[in-house]
Structure 1
Amino acid sequence: MAWAAGKQLQNGRYTLESVLGQGRFGITYFARDRNNTPVVIKIPNKDALMPEEFDRLQVVFVQEAHKLARCRHPHIVKTGEPFKEDGIWCIPMEYIDGTTLDKRAEKQLPEAEALTYVRQIGAALTEVHRNGFLHRDVRPANIMVRRGKSEAVLIDFGLARAFDHDLTITRTREIATGFAPIELYSRHGDRGAYTDVYALAATLYELLTGVVPTNAADRKAFNAKLSPPKDYNPRISDSVNKAILRGLTLEGENRPQMVDEWLVALGLPTTQETTQTLPSTPNPAGQTWNWATIWTAVGSLAAIIALLVAIPQCQPTQKTPQAPANTSPSGTP
């Protein structure tokens, strides 16, 4: 059950005001700190999972916070120090006043504007990849544009994973149709930076046309046609049209392998050439991260889960009642 408005967290440090979004794995709240500064609080969704799944999710959740802390970039949402409330881990995050690109007023953006956002998110993804992660869920709904500015921010890292370690089995229902490349439909599919290149190309396709590109699974299984974006919007330049189709190449090995390679195909400067320092937003937690304490707690939880898994199967088992399940403009996975 979602926490009620008015609930105070961390001894009154944060006060919840409303639910921004709720997904299968998480709930995102709008809150304010003691200085009345808006902040987002993200928690794992306890009600949507079986108890043993939730315990494991708690571990993954704090790992996500650690991962986000390593990816400091002007176009990546900022996070604060995680804390526990009522036995549930919470991540305070920067509140971004703006609109996600899937809710933009103009369905076909001017090419220059769309390329500005794609270059910024491309720079953010390069930072993610530099830290050894993949995002795997790039799409307009996970990109926020700050109100009154042409600044795009990548807000949702719920499906991000280390390059060499899958934490969960890929489930088709968790894949963003039209934006996910074919390798995400298989648990054992090879993945790399080119996986996010596909999703970013699909995002640009949708920003310029207002149409979601043909699902990769249908293209693979049924030879479904991918119409060039220029078919929907003749104002798209030939070079951008060609670069989008190259980024949407079905097989990963035939796509641009790195984000910068694809940006060059679009005629954009590489992320190294466009590194710029934007005014930094204060850490929502307002203090230095105490990761030693956090990882001690996470390690204890992980050890308990491992012990439970090791209990012999011959012991009596109890069925746990199934809880109801339920994306959010603020980054709820």
Structure 2
Amino acid sequence: MVWSEQQLLHGGKYKIEKILGRGAFGITYKAVHQLLNQDVVIKTPHESLRLAPDYPNYGEEFIKQGQLLAQLSADLDSLVPVRDLFQEGDTYCLVMDFISGESLWNLVQRTGPLPETDAVEYITQIGSALNLIHGVGLVHLDISPHNIVVRNSGKPVLIDFGIPGDILRDSNVSSHIDNKPFRPYELYYQGSRHATVDVYSLAASLYHAVTGLNPTESIYRKYDGEDLVPPNQLVPSISDRLNQVILQAMALEPKDRPQSVQEWLQPLTEDDYFICLSEVDDLSSDVGVDYRPLQDLLIHRKWQEADQETLALMLKAAGREEEGWLDIPDINKFPCKDLYTLNTLWVKYSNGRFGFSVQKQIWQSLVTESVQVTPGADYDYETYCRFGDQLGWHTNEKWLDYVDLPFTLNAPQGHLPVSYVGFFSGWAYFAFFMGGVSLFSRLEICSI
């Protein structure tokens, strides 16, 4: 049976608040521990599992595996803690902590593809927990970005175990599994309970985290001959090593994948991988400017701090730190190598969404070819407004103040960087007229 809101369980110890989700193997409820006034999650077997031939023997195994998870979760920050086990009528219940935070799926939807370093950090932490789970004979079977929650502290937690399906090995409910882009085909048709199922699903979750897109469903690859698009074809900044690691773990046939999570993640935990990531950027400067602080801010998606750091670095490169602003003569002789470095960093770490060159392309689409980037050209005010509208600097016939601008990856294309135009107190039109178009002219001269 499916419980309704306000339903009391376990002698009134728990009260159901709502259904959080239904998977192939179970139903997950949000509930309240009445005495502690504490939010919890209760997972029960899906009602269809009662038709499985070995369901009468289910209780003993459910308790055994719940006990194992409770022991493991006590020592692992990346595993949702198990707090209680009980039986309500003929329904077995597993009680876990309710994790405050945001699912990896929602995080990617909100911010766009994650930086490679962040995504790998999340997945390797989850992988370490999975490795121990597999070591005691359990398999999760339902890994997806929906089942990885990033706590408010930034730590990832694996939730929603598929215990019922792991116990009822002869059940044929896997064909109803949700989150199809993250499932290997053998889970649908062969009911596989091997660790390579979790390897595939964790790799598919990593694919989604770094591209913002779902991978091609395995059943279409198996039976319709569709191809899996390599991650770095979608996001060129993805390293060759990460691209290869994801593709290996998402091999269509289980025998072609790494046979354990530890084996799969090994290339992403080696020191040379992180050294390679940090060294891949060209941080050259003609005037001795250190661009590593900006690189670090962009890697960690601190967009507003990166925007302000960009202005500080431009002032330093132009020798205008004392004045605190850029004038047209200085923009017209801004070092090309430094301009290239600044633009490349912004374009790379925003996955092509932000950067001077992105802004220049938008500007060029709005003006006539003869005056696209001519300094001092007599552009009409309407053109500036349309440009501001597209970048999110101007809305409802008003130039926004700096404090009112959004600093997220969901901001309009070309929205950042913005501080270089002297964006303050509604003077954006004048500031952009004085400096922005001149910068686009300089980009043209520097072949950027």
Q: TM-score, structure 1 length as denominator? A: 0.69
Letter in structure 1 aligned against 2:205: T
Quote the Cα distance in structure 2 between the aligned partners of 1:65 and 1:198: 24
3-state secondary structure, aligned to 2:258? coil
Residue pair 1:79, 1:93 contacting (<8 A) in 2 also: yes
* Structure 1 position 170, deviation (Å): 5.2
Q: Please state how far the C-alpha of 1:198 moved relative to its aligned partner.
A: 1.3
Are residues 4 and 181 of structure 1, via their aligned partners in 2, closer, same or farther at CA, if it must alter by over 3 Å? closer
| Aligned amino acid, residue 145 of structure 2 | P
Which amino acid counterpart does residue 187 of structure 1 have in structure 2? Answer: Q
- The CA deviation at 1:240 is 0.8
What is the match of residue 83 of structure 2? Answer: 80
Q: Deviations over 1:260-309 (max 9, x none)?
A: 2211222457xxxxxxxxxxxxxxxxxxxxxxxxxxxxxxxxxxxxxxxx
Larger Rg: 2
Distance 1:89 1:123 in 2: 28
Provide the C-alpha distance between the structure 2 equivalents of 1:15 and 1:216, rounded to a whole number of angstroms.
Answer: 39
Following superposition of structure 1 onto structure 2, how do residues 75-224 of structure 1 map, counting pairs within 5 Å? 75-104=78-107, 105-146=110-151, 148-158=152-162, 166-169=169-172, 171-174=174-177, 176-187=179-190, 192-224=194-226
Q: Which residue of 2 aligns with 1:253?
A: 255
Task: Tell me: CA distance 1:45–1:150, structure 2 relative to 1, closer, same or farther (3 Å).
Answer: same
Alpha carbons of structure 1 residues 134 and 52: separation in structure 2 relative to 1, 3 Å:
closer
Preserved CA contact (<8 Å) 2:30 2:39: no
Q: Is the 8 A contact 1:101 1:143 kept in 2?
A: yes
Distance 1:251 1:154 in 2: 25
Letter of the structure 2 residue corresponding to residue 144 of structure 1: V
Q: Between 210-219 and 173-182, report the one with greater CA deviation.
A: 173-182
**Offset of 1:154 from its aligned partner?**
0.9
CA-CA distance at 1:157 after TM superposition: 1.2
Equivalence for 1:241: 243
For residues 141 and 268 of structure 1, do their structure 2 counterparts lie closer, same or farther at Cα, with a shift above 3 Å needed? farther
TM-score, normalised by the number of residues in structure 2: 0.53
The share of aligned pairs that are identical, in percent, is: 35
| Contact residue 258 and residue 264 of structure 2 kept, 8 A | yes
Q: Given residue 119 of structure 2, which amino acid in structure 1 is its aligned partner? A: A
Structure 2, unmatched stretches of 5+, are 272-448
Query: Counterparts of 2:164 and 2:125 in 1: how far apart (Å)?
Result: 18
SS in 1 for 2:248: helix
- Deviation at 1:29? 2.4
Q: Find the counterpart in structure 2 of residue 20 from structure 1.
A: 20
Structure 2 counterpart of 1:108, which letter? P
Contact 2:169-2:191 at 8 Å conserved across structures: no
Which of the two has greater helix per residue? Answer: 2
SS at match of 1:28: strand
CA contact (8 A) 2:79 2:157 kept: yes
Task: Provide closer, same or farther for how the CA distance between residues 54 and 29 of structure 1 changes in structure 2, counting only shifts above 3 A.
Answer: farther
CA distance in 2, matches of 1:85, 1:193: 31
Q: d(CA) in 1 for partners of 2:196 and 2:124?
A: 16
- Displacement of 1:61 in angstroms is 4.8
Aligned-residue RMSD, C-alpha:
2.9
Deviation at 1:215, TM superposition (A): 1.6
* Counterpart AA for 1:154: L
Q: C-alpha deviations, 1:203-239, integer Å up to 9, x for none? A: 1001111111112222122221111111111221121
Q: Which amino acid aligns with 2:21?
A: G
Q: Name the CA distance, whole Å, in 2 between partners of 1:132 and 1:71.
A: 12
What amino acid is the match of 1:263?
L
Shift of 1:58: 6.0
Task: State the SS of the aligned residue for 1:119.
Answer: helix
Equivalent residue number for residue 307 of structure 1:
none
Partner residue, 1:39: 40
Q: Sort the Cα spacing of 1:52 and 1:175 in 2 relative to 1 into closer, same or farther, 3 A.
A: closer
Paired residue type of 2:98: Y
Q: Which moved more, 1:208-217 or 1:59-68?
A: 59-68
Match of 1:29 in 2: 30
CA distance in 2, matches of 1:175, 1:6: 27
Residue 56 of structure 1 deviates from its aligned partner by 4.6
Aligned residues: 265
Superposed displacement of residue 45, structure 1: 4.6
Aligned 8 A contact 2:80 2:157 in 1: yes
